[in-house]
Amino acid sequence: MKKFYITLALALAFAGVKAQTPCVDGMAGPYPCDKVDLLASMTMDEIGGAQNQADIWGWTSATGREFAIVCKSNGTAFVEVSDPVNPVYLGDLPTHTINSLWRDAKVYADHAFIVSEAPGHGMQVFDLTQLLSISNPPVIFEETAHYGSFGNAHNIVINEETGFAYGVGTNTFMGGLHIVNIQDPVNPVIAGAYAEDEYTHDAQVVVYHGDDADYCGLEIAFNSNEDAVTIVNVEDKEDCQTISISPYPNSAYTHQGWLSEDHNFFFVNDELDEMQGLVTNTTTFIWDIRDLVNPVLIGTHAGVTTSIDHNMYTKWNQIFQSNYRSGLRILDASLAEEGTLSEIGFFDCIPEDDAASFSGTWSNYPYFESGTVVMTNMTGDFLVLQPRTVSADAIVHVLDGVDSATFNVYTAADESEVNLNTVGLPSGVFVGFDDYTGLGPTAILLSGLEQLDPGTYDFQIVVSIDGSDEVFDASFIISDEQAPSIIAQTPINEEVTTPVPVFEWSDDFNGETLLLEISSTANFDNILFSFEVNNSPFESPNSLLEGQYFWRLSNFPECNDEVVFSNGASFGVVIPKVQENNLGLLSVYPNPSQGQLNLDLAVQGELNVINALGETVAKFTLPQGLQTIQLEDIAKGVYLLQFNQVNAGRIILE
């Protein structure tokens, strides 16, 4: 495939709004909107001047300060948006070579990595912590480091979980993936490449945790490759393997895509299908990727405008799209598995029209914890926005026999008063609500599902914000696949007279390794011991002191599988104390003791003093006969004596 060069007809954007302007009756000042407020805007001149703005990204410092990284034709501007109503332009990092319409940035380990289509530009590395101490802005910055093994690049993709960067659309490897190890950010090193499907326009690279167990935990690239979606296993950087190449009907230019947060769906835009008349309105493609070898295009979403789509990102089950002349469009993706999306909010930065032409918003960044969204308008203003969109999980799958299911409600702003309710739940199903957590997800817990037969159960979630209700249709689907179970058998609600109890259970995990936990509390918030176990019965390798305990088993789930817990079982440990004048191998007195113990040993041996955590706190090698040991340095409490590896009983230190 050959690279497709696009000539942009740049248009002047509407300017003049500076102050915070809420979206009221469909307008934020002169901008059409729905549930998105304008917090602030800055002209191109106010962020250092340039011919155009391009991509945008963000960085949050360790102390929570928020910064926009604004890519421009002549370099990169840094704007602090910690106070989103009063953004501060801190300065510019000039381009490494010459100006270019295209510039892109991503972040890893407090460093920005910046590429451009400018010839010979390579990858700039910039230490973002410099932004924390700017006392007299604006500043002209210098790059911290530079990577020159490619010249031009259309985009830079970073997997922050692994510390690898992927240059795409470079002048190397036929424009495919140029893989760079950036784990030491100021010393980037080439790590590998992928060129089998040639030019990659954009990509997202993740440690995959979707439903395809064959690739669980591996680093996977999801590439937009001009005429197809190309999925690549990049776990081995020196031997990347194609998983699938998926063309689709009427493709014009497969431009960019982003995964759902569960990694089961890939939302893709085609940059030229609107312009070429292959579709009427802005179209988003919904790919089911639960089988990476056989992705399935399960639906398309036709927007309400005719503009060209560009970059988009997912957060919760909402998609934040920058669609050129129609601005920021926010879609609800809660019904993605049914091939359906719906628009729930927007901010149109080009009020004049929604024409299918290359001007308007290039990109947005929705990942600040504050909920602020920053957005570029190519020849207009840098914009700071606050969405107030609300969505809810629509479908939750439950295995037969599982007693509960969780639905999340997502709010894109920290609203002042939110109340949750449900309507139409089946009889016997109970509902509990988490306290409203502000921005992000708030959980609704349904319980009592184990009494229901397999099937689909519809109900509604009602979200009331400041007295205004939004109603969401929801369903939980109970499959006829029986949920795996682990049944704790013994010890349960009984006393054992040995400090090393034996545990028994039944399960249908076919001999898989389980986790056995012993806790001092019923809610398992104080785990004393944990063991990986394979077969029942299992004898504890750690000694327990006298007291009440709780134990449970759980599985080690693969990828997206849920953890399955056994019932929590309780048991008591009763250990006779060492009696004075004991006629056995060991006699101890006094007991209780204030720190001095007298012992009468029938044989020589090794004596260990063990605390409640199973730790040996004192050790003595003693001859046969009468002996005295000092334990004054040991804290007061109950201890187990172990003589020649045999549990001899407990002592009390007062």
What is the distance between the alpha carbons of residues 365 and 372, in angstroms, rounded to a whole number?
9
**Which of 23-32, 363-372, 579-588, 637-646 comes out lowest in average pLDDT?**
579-588
Q: Which of 15-29, 249-263, 338-352 has the lowest mean pLDDT?
A: 15-29
At the topology level, CATH places domain 486-573 in: Immunoglobulin-like (2.60.40)
CA angle 119, 322, 377 (to 5 degrees): 65
- Between the alpha carbon of residue 246 and those of residues 287, 299, 339, the distances in Å are 10, 15, 17
Please check whether the two domains, 391-482 and 586-653, share a CATH topology: yes
Q: Lowest-pLDDT range, 43-57, 185-199, 413-427, 599-613?
A: 599-613
Write down the pLDDT at residue 641.
Answer: 81
% of the chain surpassing 90 pLDDT: 67
Residues in Cβ contact with 538 at an 8 Å cutoff, skipping those fewer than 6 apart:
502, 503, 504, 516, 531
Q: pLDDT tier at 180 (50, 70, 90 boundaries)? A: very high
Please state the rounded mean pLDDT for residues 538-546. 82
Q: How large is the average pLDDT for residues 542-554?
A: 85
| pLDDT (0 to 100) of residue 509 | 65
**Could you read off the pLDDT of 259-308 as tens digits, one per residue?**
999 999 999 999 999 999 999 999 999 999 999 999 999 999 999 999 99
Mean pLDDT of the chain: 89
| 139-160 per-position pLDDT tens digit | 999 999 999 999 999 999 999 9
**Cis (ω within 30 of 0) for the bond into 366?**
no
**Tokens, residue 124:** 């700039």
Cβ atoms of residues 313 and 366 within 8 Å: yes
Confidence of residue 50 (pLDDT cuts 50, 70, 90): very high
User: Is the full-model pTM beyond 0.85?
Assistant: no
383: tokens are 């914009």
CA dihedral 644, 648, 650, 654 (to 10 degrees): -60
9 pLDDT above the threshold of 50: no
Instruction: pLDDT band for 189, please (50, 70, 90 cuts).
Output: very high
Would you state the pLDDT for residue 301? 96
- Could you tell me which CATH number the domain at 391-482 has? 2.60.40.10
Q: What is the structure's pLDDT at 510?
A: 63
Give the pLDDT confidence of 217-262 residue by residue, as tens digits: 999 999 999 999 999 999 999 999 999 999 999 899 999 999 999 9
Mean pLDDT of 19-39: 93
Tell me the pLDDT band of 13, cut-offs 50, 70 and 90. very low
Confidence of residue 505 (pLDDT cuts 50, 70, 90): confident
Per-residue model confidence (pLDDT) at position 1? 35
pLDDT surpasses 60 at 584: no
Domain boundaries, the chain: 391-482, 486-573, 586-653
The span from the CA of 543 to the CA of 548, in Å, is 14
The answer to whether 524 and 493 have CB atoms below 8 angstroms apart is no
Question: Out of 184-193, 213-222, 524-533, 635-644, which region has the weakest mean confidence (pLDDT)?
Answer: 635-644
CATH class (in words) of the domain with range 586-653: mainly beta
**CB neighbour burial string for 116-152, b if at least 16 within 10 angstroms, e if fewer:** bbbeebbbbbbbbebbeeeeeebbebebbbebeebbb
Q: With beta carbons less than 8 A apart as the criterion, state whether 474 and 460 touch.
A: yes
pLDDT band at 546 (very low <50, low <70, confident <90, very high): confident
Rounded average pLDDT over 482-487 = 81
Element (H, E) at 141: none
Q: Look at 484 and 423; give whichever has higher pLDDT.
A: 423
pLDDT at residue 419 greater than cutoff 70: yes
The answer to whether residue 478 scores a pLDDT higher than 90 is yes
pLDDT higher than 60, residue 580: no
**What's the average model confidence in pLDDT over 452-460?**
96
- Residue 526 has a pLDDT of 86
Query: How does pLDDT run across 421-447, given as a tens digit for each residue?
Result: 999 999 999 999 888 878 889 999 999
For residue 14, name the pLDDT band (cuts at 50, 70, 90): very low
Mean pLDDT of 1-7: 33
